[in-house]
Amino acid sequence: MLKPSFHYLNSPLLLPLPSSHSFTSKLISIRFRRTAKISMSMSTSHDAVPHPPPENRVVVGFGMTTVDFLATVDGFPNPDDKVRTTSFKVQGGGNAGNAITCAARLGLKPKLISKVADDAQGMDILNELQADGVDTSFIVVSKGGSSTFSYVLIDNQTKTRTSIYTPGEPPMMPDDLSQSTLLSAFDGARLVYFDGMSTETALFVAQEAARNNIPILVEAESPREGLDELLGLADFAVCSARFPQAWTQAPSIPSALVSMLLRLPNIKFVIVTLGEDGCLMLERSADEDADQEERDAESFLEFLYKGKDDSLTVPTCISSVATKLKGKGIGTLCGRFFIGTAEKIPDSELVDTTGAGDAFIGAIIYAICANMAPEKMLPFAAQVAASKCRALGARTGLPYRTDPRLASFLH
C-alpha cells in the first residue's frame, strides 16, 4: 500500500550579519530543520514501526494531577448569561499528570509523586493514570479531604480556554514522603520533572534527587515562593512566555534568558514556550573564545528570526552557532539560540489548547532521555503538542509513539 514518506531536511545556510546590527561582517551558520512531505513511496508495515524507546527510560514526575470538567461553548458567556454546551468531557488533568501521561504514551516508564484524596475523583485520577502505564504507587492518598479539580470552558470561536482551579485538601507536605520512599521512586531514574507547584515539598524531593545525581527538569509558569531554590537545582528549565522577564526584570525575553543562565549556573538550557509562535531556547555552550566578539542578545535574535520561513506549516528549528551573548546591563555568556516554530493547525482541526504546554514538556522529557539534538527535539515537541490540540481535553489527543505523525522523529 502507498504510504506517505516524511523526510527531514537539515541543511546549513550562511548569512552575512548586516552592519545595521552593529555587527562586524562575519558569517553565522543557521541550520534549518524542516519536516516536509515530499514523496510517496512503497512502505511496509515494518517500515512504520518506530525504533525502541531509550534504553534508560524511567522518569519521575512531581506535581499536580487533577480531574478536569471540560465544556465547549459557541461563545464565552457574559455575566448573568446562560449558555448551552456543545460538548462535555470529564478527564484527568494537571500539569504533572498530563506531562507524565504524555511521556508514558511516547514509550517511557514514568512514576508520579503527587497527592489525591480517597474520594471518587481521586480514584478516577489513579485509574486513568494506571491505564496509561504510569506507576502511581508513589501517589499519596489522604483519608478524607478532597482531590484537586478544575472547570475548563473552551470557546469554539476564539479557540481559547478558561480554567477555574480548586486545589485539593490537605496539600502535599514533606512529611508525606519518607527518604526510603524517594529512594525507591528514584531507582533507575534518568530524569526527575517538577511542574513548579507545591514548592516546599518539591524542594525536599529535588534535594534528594540532586544528592543522587539525577538530572532535574523544572517547569516555571509564574514566580512563586520557593521556585528560586528549585530552579537552583535544575539542569533544564521550561518556562511560560511571561516568566523569564517577570523573574529577571530584564527588558526583553532574549536578555532574560541570558540572565537566567547567568543566575542559574547548573542550567544546561532554558526553553520559553510562546504558544502559536512556537518556542525559543538558549543552550549554554562551553566553546567560549576569549577573543570572540560580544553580540547583543536582542539584536542577534532579531536577525536570526529573519531566517524563519512563514510559509511552512510544519514545525521547524533555526539554530545559531555558539556566540558570546550580551544582555543589556546583565552580563555575557556563550550560548546558542534555537527558534522552534509551531505547526500551523487548520481552524477546522483545532479543537482545544488545554494542556498543550504539558504535552510539549512530556515530549521534551522523552527527547532528553533519547539524547535528541535540539534541532530535532523542538520540532518533535511541537508536533506532539499540535496533535494534542486536535481533541478535547489535555489527554485525549496525546499521541502514542506509533502515531504516523511522529514516525520520522522516532526512526
Q: What angle do CA 410, 218, 273 make, to 5 degrees?
A: 65
Write down the pLDDT at residue 383: 98
CB 316 within 8 Å of CB 379: yes
- As a CATH number, domain 59-402 is 3.40.1190.20
When the pLDDT of each residue in the chain is averaged and rounded to a whole number, the result is: 88
Write down the pLDDT at residue 6: 31
Beta bridge partners of 238: 219, 271
Helix axes 356-369 and 95-105, enclosed angle (nearest 10): 50
pLDDT at 334 over 80: yes
Whole-angstrom Cα distance, residue 6 to residue 4? 6
Q: What angle do CA 303, 304, 308 make, to 5 degrees?
A: 115
Grid coordinates of 112: 508520579
Torsion sign across C-alpha atoms 254, 259, 260, 266: positive
pLDDT at 14 over 50: no
Whole-angstrom Cα distance, residue 257 to residue 111? 30
pLDDT, tens digit, 9 for 90 and up, residues 285-303? 986 665 678 999 999 999 9
Write down the pLDDT at residue 245: 97
Residue 71 is classified by DSSP as E
pLDDT, tens digit, 9 for 90 and up, residues 263-291? 999 999 999 999 999 999 999 998 666 56
Grid coordinates of 39: 514523496
Write down the pLDDT at residue 411: 80
SS (H, E, C) 350-366: CCCCCCHHHHHHHHHHH
User: What is the domain partition of the chain in residue ranges?
Assistant: 59-402
**Amino acid in the structure at residue 301:** L
What average pLDDT does this structure show over 117-123? 96
What average pLDDT does this structure show over 183-202? 97
pLDDT, tens digit, 9 for 90 and up, residues 369-381? 999 999 999 999 9
Of 132, 110, 108, the C-alpha closest to 55 is: 108
What average pLDDT does this structure show over 97-125? 98
Write down the pLDDT at residue 190: 98
Grid coordinates of 278: 512556537
pLDDT at 342 over 90: yes
Of 397, 369, 410, 357, the C-alpha closest to 110 is: 369
**Of 37 and 367, which is predicted with more confidence?**
367
Write down the pLDDT at residue 199: 96
pLDDT, tens digit, 9 for 90 and up, residues 130-161? 999 999 999 999 999 999 999 999 999 998 99
SS3 80: coil
**Of 351 and 1, which is predicted with more confidence?**
351
Write down the pLDDT at residue 53: 87
Note if the pTM is more than 0.85. Answer: yes
CB 320 within 8 Å of CB 300: yes
* Per-residue pLDDT band at 178 (split at 50, 70, 90): very high
